Structure 1
Amino acid sequence: MSAGQSTAMPQREGEPVRVLHVLDHSLPVQSGYAFRSEAVCIAQKRRGWEPIVVTSPKHYESWRGEWNQSEEIGGIRYYRARTVSSPALPLLGEVRLMAALARRLSSVIHAESPHVLHPHSPVLNAIPALLMGRRWGIPVIYEMRSSWEDAAVDRGSYAATSWKYKVSRSLETWVCSKADRVVVICEGLKRDLVGRGIPQERIVVVPNGVDVERFQPRPGDADVWKRLGLQGKKVVSFMGSFFRWEGLDLLIDAVAKLARVRSDVALLLVGGGEMEAALKDKIRLLGIEQHVVMPGWIPQADTLGLYPLIDVLAFPRYSTHLTERVTPLKPLEAMAMGKAVIASDVGGHRELVRHQETGLLFEAGNAAALAEALAAVFDSTQLRTRLEHNGLNWVARERSWAKTTESYREAYRLGVSRAIVKQFEVKEERS
């Protein structure tokens, strides 16, 4: 079969548009990546499209459960690629992973006859999708959610001057140049790709969004609050993965400053990750154990009962190549829950937070400035109420998944046939 030869089944009249998403991992793993993937598939299904998912062999590195050939979660079909061994030789493991994913993709394409292949970061998903797209004659829309090589640098996995970084970045750029269209989640990533020579007219921004039916103001779970010992406290919280770039050590410093002058301040850190042990050591060193609660990971459904009892959510990210270009999801969820948000002034946050309107921005890396912002929200009901009201309204108006995922129609329109585009438009008119 020659490259570009179309063997995919043609679309029949009235048939839903099938989009085959290729993911690093998915539910039941709980992560920002998995939650965005779930939200995108649900939003597309509501539009009358038919999203289908294939996950990389890396899914089971996170899930660590028994391998399933396929399963259905929330009405979405998930196909799983088998795990592969991790040899010691450089790059051999990545080659094996991509080969296994390509084989799984080929079998799923044969079974499902998708009209669009939609691989999401990292590039290890995109390369097999490009190969299968060319083989089966299916357009490929690549979604770059983050700069994974920059994340690796921020984690300390390798240096920005290393060969691994250079290879990863070069492959990412190559994939973006070969895909029919590129989707990014924010303007920062778009500017980065344009700087690498990718024409901006080939890039479509589909921002992070929120399920406004799930994330909305509600009564709090007073029993959980009592068990955590937080009743009567002024509470600042962070919920998510404890990565280095999140700046949680800075947040601990800010809380320690406040704790010297007020006894009612408390920090709730929900989650875990690579910085967990170091953060606990820092809390002990500063002697503020009575001001910090770390319950570990809590299922997302259960965290919804915590939000209403929190005074402010803090996102103190440090300024790095990654955080200046990539927007996080958690601040949007906090705003959708009607909570005040304080965030560092890195580029990714400035796309989400308008200072003194939808939240407060402080100088990245400045613990004193963060402590000052926290005190302002704690001490002014008027300020906190204004931030909560404005943030909630902005998210409901601009960042529901129903609104942000409208841009996928543009991305697919630019990369697929006229017949399929017409079907998109018909489905949109009916929805």
Structure 2
Amino acid sequence: MKILYHHRTQAEDAQGIHIAEIIKAFRKLGHRVEEVSLVSSAQGGGSREQKMSSRSGTPGSKKNIFWNAVARLSPKAFYEAMEIAYNLIGYRKLSRAIKKFWPDFIYERYALYTFAGVLAARRYGIPLILEVNSPLAYERKVYGKLVFPKMAEAFERWITSHATKTLVVSTPLKKHLVSLRVPEPQVEVVPNGIDPEHFDPGVSGEPIRQRYHLEGKVVLGFIGWFRPWHGLEMLLEVLAERALRQAEVHLLLIGEGPIYASLQEYVRTQALSRQVTFTGPIPRESLVPYIAALDIALQPSATPYASPMKLFEYMAMGKAIVAPRQENIEEILVDNESGVLFEPDNKKALEDAIMRCVGDPGFRERIGRKAREQIFERKYLWEENAKRVIEIVKQKTIQR
């Protein structure tokens, strides 16, 4: 099939990874993919290292720098108006690409206010598969980044209702859209995935352990973009408690982000420097040995609707995982079987979960092995996601 992939993101951090991986999966299955976007992903040109590093959000182009500046400096109302205005550009770009490429369907990563894909799909009679990774109207309202929340919610409802099919990454996200009066049959859950060839548990983490002098330590780790909702402040508070201070553990924080400086300051003031290492951003292609160096992989907190990509990376590497017990996480991990789940936002529960793994190497090995097995049992694979999309398009084409 011929697939036109449309997105309005800046192709950074987990967004860029998702875009690149699903495009790669479609191509690996033998389909042709063309990309229409404001900023091209790594699959559209250039190396992945140039585009992103450890979800660090490091801009990979002058366009990224420009749009980052626009987002940061523009008044909120003006920025929202620009998001709506993008549809003029997006529709024109899509129309040109459709006339040149004549795709079998459009695959679009949802962005708030972006209805160009729905209009182009209707105008040219082409199916549109819409991928939704978070409830953007709700998310931006909560974080005070919307001037017109009612309008944003109305746009979100209309766009997700009028795609040929809307794919979401978790059941809580599906429930959210249905609560907005999006028809329930319109929405299908397709969690994120992994490339098991890239995340190979046979890769050694010893060079990383030696680099940071971690021999003989139980290494805890978090990989990603350091944001307030990732629970890293709580993790450091737990590390400062007596039990973990006395244990032979070391925390490896891999990446960077908005709260990087405040985390470093906390480590300094609490005299935790001997137990915590900040690696800074790591190119994604160099990330696997860092995960391999971990004994226990941590997801201290997560939004209730996410399908955290790091969980699948940890699972594919066969790591013992500690994560919060909430619906979207329980869709991915089985408590005491492929991970250890704890009561969200509970420091004592997080400490107990970590200490259970620290004190029992055999348990760590068992749940890590099972996590790896569940990647294949539950088909958390980018290629399987791509196959599912193709099947949906075929079904919709027959129904037409």
TM over 0.5: yes
Give the paired residue count: 380
Unaligned 5+ segments in structure 1 are 1-16, 69-81, 420-431
Q: Deviations over 1:260-284 (max 9, x none)?
A: 6425211111111112122122222
Structure 1 position 221, deviation (Å): 4.1
Identify the residue that residue 373 of structure 2 maps to in structure 1: 393
Q: Among residues 28, 31, 34, which one is paired with 1:49 in the alignment?
A: 31
Identify the residue that residue 46 of structure 2 maps to in structure 1: none
Look up the SS of the partner of 1:183 in the other structure: strand
Identify the residue that residue 133 of structure 1 maps to in structure 2: 121
Q: Among residues 382, 402, 413, which one is paired with 2:383 in the alignment?
A: 402
Identify the residue that residue 196 of structure 1 maps to in structure 2: 180
Hey, what's the Cα distance between the residues in 2 that align with 1:269 and 1:376?
21
Identify the residue that residue 149 of structure 1 maps to in structure 2: 137
Identify the residue that residue 312 of structure 2 maps to in structure 1: 332
Look up the SS of the partner of 2:148 in the other structure: helix
Question: Does 2:269 correspond to 1:281?
Answer: no
- Whether the 8 Å contact between 1:57 and 1:84 is mirrored in structure 2 is no
Identify the residue that residue 54 of structure 2 maps to in structure 1: none
Structure 1 position 362, deviation (Å): 0.5
Hey, what's the Cα distance between the residues in 2 that align with 1:378 and 1:83?
41
Hey, what's the Cα distance between the residues in 2 that align with 1:225 and 1:382?
20
Structure 1 position 197, deviation (Å): 2.1
Look up the SS of the partner of 1:413 in the other structure: helix
Look up the SS of the partner of 1:114 in the other structure: coil
Equivalent residues in 2 for 1:15-414, closer than 5 Å: 17-25=1-9, 29=12, 31-56=13-38, 63=59, 65-66=61-62, 88=75, 90=78, 91-125=80-114, 127-153=115-141, 156-158=143-145, 163-258=147-242, 261-262=245-246, 264-317=248-301, 323-398=303-378, 399-414=380-395
Hey, what's the Cα distance between the residues in 2 that align with 1:304 and 1:195?
39
Hey, what's the Cα distance between the residues in 2 that align with 1:95 and 1:26?
16
Hey, what's the Cα distance between the residues in 1 that align with 2:148 and 2:276?
38
Q: Which amino acid aligns with 2:212?
A: L
Unaligned 5+ segments in structure 2 are 42-50, 52-56
Structure 1 position 62, deviation (Å): 6.5
Structure 1 position 163, deviation (Å): 4.6
Q: Deviations over 1:234-290 (max 9, x none)?
A: 111000111111111111111111566425211111111112122122222322121
Name the CA shift for 1:316/1:111 in 2 (closer, same or farther; >3 Å): same
Hey, what's the Cα distance between the residues in 1 that align with 2:396 and 2:15?
24
Hey, what's the Cα distance between the residues in 2 that align with 1:397 and 1:146?
25
Name the CA shift for 1:152/1:244 in 2 (closer, same or farther; >3 Å): farther
Look up the SS of the partner of 1:416 in the other structure: helix
Identity percentage of aligned residues = 25
Q: Which amino acid aligns with 2:35?
A: V
Hey, what's the Cα distance between the residues in 2 that align with 1:381 and 1:200?
44
- Whether the 8 Å contact between 1:117 and 1:140 is mirrored in structure 2 is yes
Look up the SS of the partner of 1:216 in the other structure: coil
- Whether the 8 Å contact between 2:113 and 2:155 is mirrored in structure 1 is no
Look up the SS of the partner of 2:215 in the other structure: coil
- Whether the 8 Å contact between 2:324 and 2:342 is mirrored in structure 1 is yes
Structure 1 position 295, deviation (Å): 1.1
Structure 1 position 170, deviation (Å): 2.0
Identify the residue that residue 416 of structure 1 maps to in structure 2: 397
Q: Which amino acid aligns with 1:324?
A: P
Q: Deviations over 1:139-185 (max 9, x none)?
A: 2221111112343356x343xxx653333222111111221221112
Identify the residue that residue 11 of structure 1 maps to in structure 2: none
Hey, what's the Cα distance between the residues in 1 that align with 2:389 and 2:226?
31
Task: Indicate the structure with greater helix content.
Answer: 2
Structure 1 position 331, deviation (Å): 0.8
Name the CA shift for 1:139/1:83 in 2 (closer, same or farther; >3 Å): farther
Which of 36-45 and 51-60 deviates more? 51-60
- Whether the 8 Å contact between 1:255 and 1:265 is mirrored in structure 2 is no
- Whether the 8 Å contact between 1:184 and 1:207 is mirrored in structure 2 is yes
Look up the SS of the partner of 1:212 in the other structure: coil
Hey, what's the Cα distance between the residues in 1 that align with 2:94 and 2:218?
51
Hey, what's the Cα distance between the residues in 2 that align with 1:164 and 1:275?
28
User: CA RMSD for the aligned pairs?
Assistant: 2.8
Hey, what's the Cα distance between the residues in 2 that align with 1:131 and 1:84?
29
- Whether the 8 Å contact between 2:10 and 2:39 is mirrored in structure 1 is no
Q: Deviations over 1:92-145 (max 9, x none)?
A: 3223323222222222222211121121121344x0111222222222221111
Question: Which of these two proteins has the greater Rg computed from alpha carbons?
Answer: 1
- Whether the 8 Å contact between 2:196 and 2:381 is mirrored in structure 1 is yes
Hey, what's the Cα distance between the residues in 2 that align with 1:258 and 1:112?
62
Hey, what's the Cα distance between the residues in 2 that align with 1:270 and 1:240?
6
